[in-house]
């Protein structure tokens, strides 16, 4: 792989709006001479065969598709995964963490390899999972990712990645829209905080939580707010 320091040719792959806002940050870095942006899967499929010849490294931020082995074996491919790897590898990591009750996480910058989210870690940055909707959480994640990319480029190539520790945690599957369904029983058996976490983790741009009646009609929850009960005075 290439180890050019200054005048880097970088490719930035992202399609989510919060991730695309980070492209100018990369483009403006002193070590980056040229930046190419790929913002869709069809565009990536069309260009990926030639990337190894025209770019020094490829960043994948908020990217949802498998990276071909032929690419990451020929050029440095870096992914950002919004969890403290190796925890919460796989799909829908933000939703899985929020539903589990986590209040903070780590954005992990890692080398893409054959193992899903299993490559060596370059650096991590903490961010908050607190917020009434995913826009707030993604804003927090964007800030952490900005710091990750900047610090990586500042130190490259005098920075090394460390292998991930061994882990028995399963690789999680991406949540499906059907998993956003709530039932009347959920409102009877689950705590208000648990319901709040489920609903807020599924606000836009993700498949919203919904309640289905006997006819099959649905109510979708596009927003939520949590209010804690007053604590008894001492």
Segment 207-234, tens digit of pLDDT:
999 999 999 999 999 999 999 988 776 6
Structural domains present in the chain: 8-155 (3.40.50.170), 177-221 (no CATH)
Segment 56-90, tens digit of pLDDT:
999 999 999 999 999 999 999 999 999 999 999 99
Task: Indicate the length of the chain as a whole number.
Answer: 234
Specify the pTM: 0.92
Question: What are the contacts of 5-8 at 24+ separation with CB within 8 A?
Answer: 5/31, 5/156, 5/157, 6/30, 6/31, 6/33, 7/31, 7/33, 8/32, 8/33, 8/34, 8/56, 8/57, 8/153
Residue 127 has pLDDT above 80, yes or no: yes
């Amino acid at each position: 792989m290439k180890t050019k320091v200054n005048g880097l040719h970088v490719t930035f792959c992202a399609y989510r709006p919060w991730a695309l806002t980070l492209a100018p940050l990369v483009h403006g870095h002193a070590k980056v001479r040229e930046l190419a942006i790929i913002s869709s899967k069809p565009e990536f499929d069309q260009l990926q065969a030639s990337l190894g010849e025209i770019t020094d490294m490829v960043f994948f931020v908020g990217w949802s598709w498998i990276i071909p082995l032929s690419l990451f074996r020929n050029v440095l491919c870096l992914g950002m995964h919004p969890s403290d790897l190796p925890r919460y590898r796989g799909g829908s990591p933000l939703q899985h963490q929020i539903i589990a009750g986590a209040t903070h996480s780590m954005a992990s910058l890692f080398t893409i390899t054959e193992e899903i989210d299993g490559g060596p870690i370059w650096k991590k940055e903490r961010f908050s999972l607190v917020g009434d909707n995913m826009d707030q959480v993604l804003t927090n994640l964007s800030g952490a990712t900005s710091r990750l990319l900047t610090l990586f480029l500042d130190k490259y190539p005098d920075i090394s990645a460390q292998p991930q520790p061994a882990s028995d945690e399963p690789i999680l599957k991406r949540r499906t829209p059907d998993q956003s369904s709530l039932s009347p029983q959920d409102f009877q058996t689950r705590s208000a905080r648990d319901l709040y976490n489920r609903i807020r983790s599924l606000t836009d741009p993700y498949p919203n939580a919904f309640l289905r009646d006997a006819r099959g009609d649905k109510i979708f929850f596009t927003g939520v707010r949590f209010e804690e009960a007053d604590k008894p005075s001492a």
